[in-house]
Amino acid sequence: MEHILSNELGRLIVGLIVVLIFSQLNALFLVWLERKVAGHIQLRIGPKEVGPYGLLQTIVDGLKLVGKELITPKRADRILFIIAPVLVFVPVLVPFIVLPFSKSLPLNDMNVGLLVIFSFSTINVLAILIGGWGSNNKYALLGAIRSVAQNIAYEIPLLLSVLSVVLMTKTLQMSKIVQAQGSYWFFLIQPIAALTYFICATAETNRAPFDIPEAESELVAGFHTEFSGMRFGLFFLAEYTNVFVVCAVATTLFLGGWQGPFGFSLGIPGIIWFLAKTYLLVFVIMWFRWTFPRLRFDQLISFSWKVLIPLALANLIITAGVIKLI
């Protein structure tokens, strides 16, 4: 066993299996959490029948989805239609390889970790475009178009805000970014970058109030209107996994990753700190969804180009200037 773990390839294979299991369980848990949070915000109690506190409800729902027929519309582009759900789910698993859950737990602490995360999460939009285009449905197409426009608009301020942190730490390696926040967390000295990142991350994951690609009151279900059964399930799982990933990245960049506040770990293991902070951010994103109405498409785009990008750019320039002076 030790032999396998010390071997790079063995470590990766074991890691991938763990990642697969963790991401599935995490998505199931988040769906349950979303329903519970929504319930309590809306004067209800949410699922409670299946299992303790309704915890098994999502598993039962998942089983139901597996049992559903996979319908491919007659006039859909078969190849695109079939690969879209796969393409949307696989890339969101990759960031788990570099996420620093604790000091010793990034599966592979490569020196371009941050770059890996952002390059793979960008593939998501391609999958949505393929799915929307391939289903040959006007609602799906509209959703796909919106999604592309939205992702282009929000990727820029997202990366600009991340760059501010990278400038300060002078590294793309996740573990080093965390270690650089030993005494204070970055959201204290980079509040604008943290805020921009969080807003953009919400938009990146197509969550309310930025959920226009799947706006159910306008576009029925947006880009996944025609998907049924587990194909729909994969879109669903990908969305929740994505939410976890962006929150985990936010934790790493701005909330000190696995470390306790001001360097005090209080005897709590790093992984607990990391997960606690991440799930707190996930809760905030859910809170958004059940509180805000949806922005309109053009307002969303102009908010990004006219407010977020100038703000993030100014923040980046100031950061660069200050670092140069020091």
Partner 1 sequence: MATTNSEPVLTKEYFLNLGPQHPSTHGVLRVLLKLDGEYIVEADPIIGYGHRGHEKMAENRTYKQFMPNPSRVDYLSGFLYNHGYVLAVEKLMGLEVPERAKYIRVICSELNRISSHLLWFGTFLMDLGAFTPFLYCFDDREVILDLLDYITGSRLTYCYCRIGGVAKDIDDQFIEGTLNFIKRLRSRWTDYHNLVTKNVIFIHRVKDIGIIDKNIALKYGVTGPNLRGCGVPYDVRKAEPYEIYEEVDFEIPVGEKGDIWDRYMVRLNEMEQSCRIIEQAIKKLPRGPVKASGVPVKIEPPKGEVYFPFESARGEAAFFIVSDGTEYPYRIRIRVPSFSNLQALTEVLPGTLVADTIAILGSIDIVVPEIDR
The binding site for partner 1 (CB under 8 A) comprises: 38, 41-44, 138-139, 142, 208-209, 211-212, 215-220, 290-299
**At closest approach, how far in Å is the CB of 55 from partner 1?**
23
Distance (Å, whole) CA 221 – CA 218: 8
In terms of CB distance, is 38 or 90 closer to partner 1? Answer: 38
Q: Where are the alpha helices (DSSP H) in the chain?
A: 2-6, 8-41, 57-67, 78-89, 95-98, 113-134, 138-169, 174-179, 186-189, 191-204, 216-219, 229-254, 270-289, 297-303, 309-325
| Structure-block tokens of residue 68 | 């559903």
**At closest approach, how far in Å is the CB of 154 from partner 1?**
16
Distance (Å, whole) CA 39 – CA 31: 12
In terms of CB distance, is 38 or 83 closer to partner 1? Answer: 38
Cβ within 8 Å of residue 45, ≥6 positions away: 39
Contact (CB, 8 A) for 117 and 98: yes
N- to C-terminal Cα distance for the chain?
49
In terms of CB distance, is 38 or 105 closer to partner 1? Answer: 38
SS3 299: helix
Q: How big is the CA angle at 30 (ends 25 and 33), to the nearest 5 degrees?
A: 125
**At closest approach, how far in Å is the CB of 39 from partner 1?**
9
Q: How big is the CA angle at 113 (ends 107 and 119), to the nearest 5 degrees?
A: 120
| Structure-block tokens of residue 114 | 């941050």
**At closest approach, how far in Å is the CB of 67 from partner 1?**
25
**At closest approach, how far in Å is the CB of 150 from partner 1?**
13
**At closest approach, how far in Å is the CB of 268 from partner 1?**
34
In terms of CB distance, is 78 or 306 closer to partner 1? Answer: 306
261 prior amide bond cis, ω within 30: no
In terms of CB distance, is 14 or 220 closer to partner 1? Answer: 220
In terms of CB distance, is 176 or 294 closer to partner 1? Answer: 294
Buried b (16+ CB within 10 A) or exposed e, 54-86: beebbeebbeebeeeeeebbeebeeebbbebbe
CA dihedral angle for residue 288, residue 294, residue 298, residue 301, rounded to 10 degrees: 20
In terms of CB distance, is 54 or 91 closer to partner 1? Answer: 54
In terms of CB distance, is 250 or 301 closer to partner 1? Answer: 301
**At closest approach, how far in Å is the CB of 99 from partner 1?**
31
**At closest approach, how far in Å is the CB of 124 from partner 1?**
21
